[in-house]
Structure 1
Amino acid sequence: MKKQVVAAGFVLFSFMLSPKASAASFSNFFVFGDSLSDTGNVFAATGGLIDPTTAFPKNPPYFQGRFSNNRVWVDYLGNELGLKPTPYLISNPAIPNQGLNFAVGGASSGQGNAVVPSAPLPGVLRQVGLLTQPVVQANQKLDPNALYAVWGGANDYVFGQATNATQTVKNLSDAIGLLASSGAKNILVFNLPDLGKIPLALATGQSNNLTALTNDHNQKLAEELDKFSNNPNLNLISVDVSSVFNQIQANPGEFGFKNVTSPCVVGNFQTIISVCSQPNDYLFFDSVHPTTNAHKLIADAALAAIEAKSVPEPAINLGILALTAFGAMGTLKCQQKRSALVSK
C-alpha cells in the first residue's frame, strides 16, 4: 500500500473513525510555511510582544498574530492532536515539548521572504534548515514520533517572480527530503487552492495566470511526492486543499458561506478601509487569506488524512464496506462537512 494518502480519497473510512483516533501517536508538532500557517512569528518580529497596537498583522481585526479573523488550521489541528506548537520567534532556545511553528507570513518556498525580500525572515526551505541543521551537526536525529507539516508556494506566484512551478516545487521537495533524511517519519504536505480565485487575483486580472500556475504547481508537487512513496520509513500524508476550496466555492451554502469571491476586509495590511460585520459569512477575510471557518475545514481535511493512516488494510469486500458507511450517514450529521470535503 502506498505511504502517500490524499485527503480526498477515503470518505468511507472517515465515518468509522474516532475524531481523535491518531491524537496519541505524535509527540510533537512542527510547522513550516507562510501566512496561512503563521501563528505569531511576523507579529513577534514586528514588535507585537512589546506594542501589539503597532505590530503586523494589526490586532484587531486580525486575531492574535494570525492572518485571519480567528484561529488558523494549525490551531485547530493542534487542538485535535493535543499539541500546541510555539511560534519559534517567541520560544525558548530549547525546543518546547509540543513543537515549534516556523511558518512566517510572506515566506517564499525557498530561503527568503517573497513579500518583503529585504526582511531577514526565512522561507520554507530555510525554516526546515533552522530545525534540521543543529540536529545534524550534533549527530542526532529528529524526533521520529513527531508530526511535521509543510505548506508553501503561494507567495512565489502571487507576490514573487515565479513563472512556472519548477523551482517552487523543487524547494518544497528538498524541504521534505531534508526532513526525511534527518529522521522525520510523519510529514504532512498540502497542495494549493486555486490562486486564480482569490479576491486579489479577481481584482487585478491575474486569475487565468494564477490558475495555470496553481495547476502546474499541484501536478508537479504530486509527481514529486510520488518519488518518496518507495521509502518504507516515511509516512507521507497529502492534504488536497485544492479540492476542499473547489467544493466550498461550488457549494458555499453547504459549508456555511454566503460570499466566496469578495474579502471581508477592504484595503491592505497597512491601511484598512472597512471590515464586514459577519466575517464568517465570507470565505476570504482579506484579499488573500481565508477566514477562520475555512481554516477549520482545512484542519478537518488534514485530520481526516492523518486518521486514514490508522485504518488497517480492509479484509472485507469494499462494496459491503461502502454500504455500511453510507447506511451510517443518517446518524452522523455532525460529520457532514468533513465528509463533503473528502468525498470527491
Structure 2
Amino acid sequence: MKKQAIAAGFVLLSFMLPLKASAASFSKFYVFGDSLSDTGNVFAATGGLVAPTTAIPQDPPYFQGRFSNQQVWVDYLGDQLGLTPSPYITLNPAIPNQGINFAVGGASSGQGNAVVPNAPLPGVLEQVGLLTQPILQANQKLDPNALYAVWGGANDYVFGQATNTTQTVQNLSDAVGLLASSGAKNILVFNLPDLGKIPLALATGQSNNLTALTNEHNKELAEELDKFSNNPDLNLISVDVSSLFNQIQVNPGEFGFQNATNPCVVGNFQTIISVCSQPNDYLFYDSVHPTTNAHKLIADAALAAIEAKSVPEPAINLGILALGAFGAVGVLKRQQKRSLLVSAGRVVDAQLSHTTVEN
C-alpha cells in the first residue's frame, strides 16, 4: 500500500506538467490490467529485483517480470508509440513522464486479486482509481493526449469462480467510465480470447464453460462500450483479441506457430517441470499465457485499431482524412503479410495456479 501511495503522488505530479500530443502521437501511455499486461509489478512485489529466480514469475525461464518468454504487448506497442510506461510498484523519485503500467498479474476485474486473495494487489478498477483519485482530489484532469489501455476479466472466470459475466463486464465499463469522466480521451479496450481453448481449460475439463463465459463476456462488453458512443469527445478504441486468436488457432501455421494447443512450459510458477527448446513455435508459453510472438500480434492489432480511429488535426482537410483511412488499411495488410512470412504470434491470458500471484 505504501507503494500505491507513492505511485499516487507521482501520478499527481506527472499530470501537473503541461503536455501536448499531436494526432500522430500520444503524450503518455497508461495501462490497467492483469498478467497479460504486467511488465514487472508482481515480480517486484515478490522480491524479483533481489532474487529473480524465486520471484513470480521466475526469471529464468520467464523474462524480466513478464509472464512470457520475452516482451509482452505493452512493450511492443510502447516501442511503436515511443513510450515506455513505468511499472507502478518500482517507481522511483523521478517523475514517470512516459506513463505508468498499473497492471498486476492475477488482478480481478474489480478489486483485489483472484489468484492471491489476501495480497495487497489492486484489481483493474482499483488500478484506475490509483490514477484518477489523486488527480480529482487536486481538481485536475487526466492528460487528454495520453493513451489509456484497459484489459481484464479472464481471472474472474478462470480463477475467481465467477459464474456469470454481469459484474465483470460492469467493472470494466466502470473503469472506462471513470477514466472518461476524469478527462481521458483516448481509451483502448481489449476483449477476451476464447478462454476455453487455453491449455489449462483443456487439461481440467473447463473448456465448454469458459468458452460460454468468454462469448457472453465479449458480447456484453461490446454492448457496454457502445453506451459511450454518444460522447463525441471520447476516442474509444476496441481491440478484437477474440477474432485474432480464433484465426491463429484455426490456422496456426500461417502465423508461424507449430503448436497452438499445448504449453511450452510444463508445471507452474513454483514447480517448473520442463521448458521447450523453441518457445516461439508455441502459441502458449504456459497453461494460460501466450508467447512473445503472440504478444507481438496483439500489439499489431492494437496499433491497427488506433490507426483506424485516428483523427487528423482540425486544419487537415477531408482529402487527407480519407487518405489516412486508406493508409491504415494498407498498414493492416502489410502487418498481416509480415506476420505470415516471419512467424509471429501472440495473445491470451488468465493466470496460473492459485498459489502464485499471477496469472
TM-score after normalising by structure 2 = 0.82
AA of the residue aligned to 1:122: P
- Cα distance in structure 2, aligned partners of 1:335 and 1:121: 35
- Number of the residue aligned with 1:290: 290
- Number of the residue aligned with 1:186: 186
CA 75–337 in structure 1, closer or farther in 2 if over 3 Å, else same? farther
CA deviation digits over 1:262-315, x for unaligned, max 9?
000001111000000000000000000000000000000000000112377987
- Number of the residue aligned with 1:220: 220
Please state how far the C-alpha of 1:331 moved relative to its aligned partner.
12
CA deviation digits over 1:14-58, x for unaligned, max 9?
xxxxxxxx8842000000000000000000000111222221100
- Number of the residue aligned with 1:101: 101
CA 277–121 in structure 1, closer or farther in 2 if over 3 Å, else same? same
Q: Secondary structure at the match of 1:261?
A: strand
CA deviation digits over 1:125-175, x for unaligned, max 9?
000000000000000000000000000000000000210110000000000
Q: Secondary structure at the match of 1:229?
A: helix
CA 127–93 in structure 1, closer or farther in 2 if over 3 Å, else same? farther
- Number of the residue aligned with 2:249: 249
CA deviation digits over 1:49-102, x for unaligned, max 9?
122222110001100000000000000000000000000000135641100000
CA deviation digits over 1:194-242, x for unaligned, max 9?
0000000000000000000000100000000000011011000000000
- Number of the residue aligned with 2:204: 204
- Number of the residue aligned with 2:117: 117
Q: Which runs of 5+ in 1 are unaligned?
A: 1-21
AA of the residue aligned to 2:277: S
- Number of the residue aligned with 2:300: 300
- Number of the residue aligned with 2:173: 173
- Cα distance in structure 2, aligned partners of 1:235 and 1:160: 31
What is the number of residues matched between the two proteins? 313
- Cα distance in structure 1, aligned partners of 2:232 and 2:247: 33
- Cα distance in structure 2, aligned partners of 1:51 and 1:58: 9
Name the structure, 1 or 2, with higher relative contact order (CA <8 Å, separation 6+): 1
Alignment check: 8 A CA contact 2:300 2:335 kept:
no
Please state how far the C-alpha of 1:109 moved relative to its aligned partner.
0.1
Alignment check: 8 A CA contact 1:146 1:184 kept:
yes
- Cα distance in structure 1, aligned partners of 2:243 and 2:338: 21
- Cα distance in structure 2, aligned partners of 1:90 and 1:51: 15
Q: Secondary structure at the match of 2:189?
A: strand
CA 275–332 in structure 1, closer or farther in 2 if over 3 Å, else same? closer
- Number of the residue aligned with 1:64: 64
Q: Secondary structure at the match of 1:201?
A: helix
CA 28–115 in structure 1, closer or farther in 2 if over 3 Å, else same? same
State which drifts further: 302-311 or 166-175: 302-311
AA of the residue aligned to 1:269: F
- Number of the residue aligned with 1:133: 133
- Number of the residue aligned with 1:30: 30
AA of the residue aligned to 1:195: L
State which drifts further: 87-96 or 133-142: 87-96
Q: Secondary structure at the match of 2:247?
A: helix
- Cα distance in structure 1, aligned partners of 2:143 and 2:125: 19
CA 140–330 in structure 1, closer or farther in 2 if over 3 Å, else same? closer
Please state how far the C-alpha of 1:330 moved relative to its aligned partner.
9.5
Alignment check: 8 A CA contact 2:258 2:281 kept:
yes
Alignment check: 8 A CA contact 2:255 2:340 kept:
no
CA 153–332 in structure 1, closer or farther in 2 if over 3 Å, else same? closer
Q: Secondary structure at the match of 1:227?
A: helix
AA of the residue aligned to 2:193: P
- Number of the residue aligned with 2:351: none
1:72-111 matched pairs, under 5 angstroms: 72-92=72-92, 95-111=95-111
Aligned Cα root-mean-square deviation (Å): 2.6
CA deviation digits over 1:242-279, x for unaligned, max 9?
00000000110100000000000001111000000000
Alignment check: 8 A CA contact 2:33 2:107 kept:
yes
- Number of the residue aligned with 2:275: 275
- Number of the residue aligned with 1:3: none
Alignment check: 8 A CA contact 1:262 1:284 kept:
yes
AA of the residue aligned to 1:57: P
- Cα distance in structure 2, aligned partners of 1:303 and 1:76: 10
Alignment check: 8 A CA contact 2:103 2:124 kept:
yes
- Cα distance in structure 1, aligned partners of 2:143 and 2:199: 40
- Cα distance in structure 1, aligned partners of 2:299 and 2:336: 19
